[in-house]
Structure 1
Amino acid sequence: MGNILSWLTGGRTIEVPCTVDIEQTFDSLHAHAIPEGVTLRPGDRVVVHGVPAGVPYGETLRFTGRATIHRAGWLARAWTEASAILELTELYHCGFEPKEAS
């Protein structure tokens, strides 16, 4: 019973090394956290430890740290996938209406 409940609700955590790339320049503003040796699935949460939250303007920095991955269970994965599809359909309603005659 415990394994079935864990499979449905998740709760498993994994510690992995993580590469973090942060850039704040005229050309780009981004922060990427790339956990190593694990494939992320819909609904998984990643918490990155031991790296700065940002960099000064004009700099690009790359760090190696640790990440804790909280695995989503089947219910959370199904909910994440379904809500992503529903949110994607919102994009279909973007200005394809005919112009009114002047």
Structure 2
Amino acid sequence: MGSVLSWLTGGRTLEVPCTVDIEQTFDSLHAHAIPEGVMLRPGDRVVVHGVPPGVDYGQAISFTCRATVYRAGWLERVWTEASAILELTELYHCGFEPKEVA
């Protein structure tokens, strides 16, 4: 029974290495964290450990650290996929509103 409940609700965690790339320059402002050796699915959460709070302007750094992946269960994956589709249709909806005549 425990494995069925865990399959539905999630709760499994994985510790994996993670490549982090942070840049704050004129050309780019980004922070990417890429967990290695694991395929992320809808609803999964990733917590990256040991990352600096930021970089100074003009800097770009890249390093490897550890990350914890919290696996989503079946219910959370289905909910995440459904809500993403509904939010996407909201973008379509607001793009085609007729103009009101003044």
**Fold shared by both chains (TM-score > 0.5):** yes
2:50 alignment counterpart: 50
Unaligned runs of 5+ in 1: none
CA 8–27 in structure 1, closer or farther in 2 if over 3 Å, else same: same
Aligned residues: 102
SS of alignment partner, residue 11 of structure 1 = strand
TM-score normalised over the length of structure 1: 0.93
Q: CA deviation at 1:34?
A: 0.2
2:67 alignment counterpart: 67
Q: Percent identity?
A: 83
Structure 1 moving runs of 4+ over 2 Å:
93-102
TM-score normalised over the length of structure 2: 0.93
Q: CA deviation at 1:10?
A: 0.3
In the alignment, is the contact (CA less than 8 A) between 1:51 and 1:64 conserved in 2? no
Letter in 2 for 1:65: C
Q: CA deviation at 1:27?
A: 1.2
Letter in 1 for 2:21: D
Q: How does 1:86-101 map to 2 (within 5 A)?
A: 86-100=86-100
Q: CA deviation at 1:65?
A: 0.2
Unaligned runs of 5+ in 2: none
Q: How does 1:9-48 map to 2 (within 5 A)?
A: 9-48=9-48
In the alignment, is the contact (CA less than 8 A) between 1:23 and 1:31 conserved in 2? yes
Is the helix fraction higher in 1 or 2? 2
